[in-house]
Structures are given as structure tokens and as C-alpha cells.
Amino acid sequence: MSYENIMYQTDGRLAFITLNRPEKLNALSNELRGEVFHALKEAEADRAIGAIIIRGAGRAFCAGYDLGGGTASHYENEDHSPYVHPQSKLPDTNTTHPAHYDWSRHVLMANWTIWELAKPVIAQIHSYCLAGGTELASFCDFRIVSDDAQIGYPPVRAMGSMDIMWAPWHLPMTKAREFAYVGDSFSGADMAEMGWATYSVPSDQLDEFTEQFARRMANIDNDMLMYSKRSVNRQYEAMGIRNGLMSGTDVEAMSKHRPAAEDWNSRLREQGLKAALE
């Protein structure tokens, strides 16, 4: 399959998925997300591939979901739900999402694709990794970041709580609270120290370090990697990660219906994204 919003390449035992909307800082449109998940499944089906790297083209890894018209919140059709109608171009999550406030449930269900893959996925992060970009990265098995990367969730200041409440699963409690409450960004070095990032390296070493890490892991046979990944995943499932994250989407849906969020959405619809962010 040819892609318009990502680049898909293979080199030996590695597959590279590059988010390729550099002019938008790789903001996650429906089309881009759909292509990412298709490419992940393509790599999964290729027996020659042992590990997958997701990275971003241009000046950033990912600035978050596309609020300028590339997500379901901007799809208007009174006769159909945006989450089940093909015109929305949303990735198929094999489930239904009948109302607009189910956006967070949709993105959670879509990102479980990465969790359930048999092959390890590595997020290679430089510069900005914000909001929805942190959710994509958090579902990867590993995150390798540049020291000066900026990781944060600014939408919690006005729009609503985190779509996927991953912070308590990856950060110490007080830092999880700070990340989820305030929306400030942390450096890549800070996120490695707190445990979210596997490694933090100087930006000029990021490509080489990530590839070496991935190739070392890809030397292990596919079946062994699958069993190791599933064994670790099942432990977190026994601790309640699925129920916890799903419960978080319910709270996020409620947070979108407070008066301040309605005011913000009105500004977005009437005045555009730039005005809403001011």
C-alpha cells in the first residue's frame, strides 16, 4: 500500500514508520493515524521484521491531534456518528462510538493496537511530543528521546482531561499529578529520569542510538519477543491497566461538558484554532 501521510521503510529486521506531515509538526489527522495503524499491521505480518520504530519527520515528533479539521470533532453529519461513518476516515477499532464525547474512547481503542502487536514498537522522539503524541508514544514498548525534547499535555488547561490517562502508569504519583493537572512540558532528560522514557540521549545521537537499540533487540527471534511482550503486558492487565485507562475516558468525556470547555469549543468553531488557543 502507498501512503500519503507517513513513510514506511524496512531495513533488515527493522521497520520504520515516519509521521510525515512536517508542515503541521506531524499533527495526528484521522488519515495519518489510519495509515500508522495500517503500517503497524503490515510490519506485524512481515516475518522478516523483528522491531518497529515510529518517528517524526521535520522539526518535531508530534504536536498532538489535528485540531484544525483533521479529527472527528470537526466531522458534522446529523444522520451519522463520526465514529462509525467512513467519511470520517477514522481508524477502525472494531467497536462503535455513538456520540461525539466518545473521542477519548476511540483513541484508546485504536492505541491498543500497539499493545496487542506481537512485535516491539519503539517511539523515537525529538523536539515536541504533545497531547495525542504522548498517547501514541506511551503505548509503544519503548521511548527513546532527545535530551531537549519537550513532552507535555497542554489541553488539560482548557479543553478537558487527558484522553488517555497514561501518566499514573508511567510516572511517580506527584509527577503524574503535575503532568495531568498543569499541562507544562518536561524535557526528555526529565522524562527519562522519571521512567517514562527508556533512554534520553543528545539530539545528534538520537537516530544512531535508537537504531542500535532496535537492532540489538531484533536479533532475538520473533516468537521469543512475542512471548516476552505478552508476558509483561498480561502482568499490567492483571494490575488493572485496561480498566484504569477505560475509566479515564469516562472522566475525560465528562470534563468536556463543563461550561469552560463549552466556551472553548465555541471559540474554536467560530473563531478558529489560533483564537481559541490565545
Domain boundaries, the chain: 6-277
pTM of the predicted model, to two decimals?
0.90
Cβ–Cβ under 8 Å, residues 40 and 121? yes
Fold adopted by 6-277: 2-enoyl-CoA Hydratase; Chain A, domain 1 (3.90.226)
| DSSP bridge pairs for 143 | 123
Mean pLDDT per 10-residue section of the chain, whose length is 278 residues? 94 99 96 93 98 99 85 52 54 62 84 96 99 98 99 93 97 98 97 99 99 98 98 98 95 88 79 68
pLDDT for position 82: 55
pLDDT tens column, 64-98: 999 876 555 544 555 555 555 454 556 666 665 55
Residue whose cell numbers read 515516519: 18
Q: What is the DSSP string of 149-211?
A: -EEE-GGGGTT-S-SS--HHHHS-HHHHHHHHHH---EEHHHHHHHTSSSEEE-GGGHHHHHH
Average pLDDT, the chain: 90
CA distance 211 to 165: 29
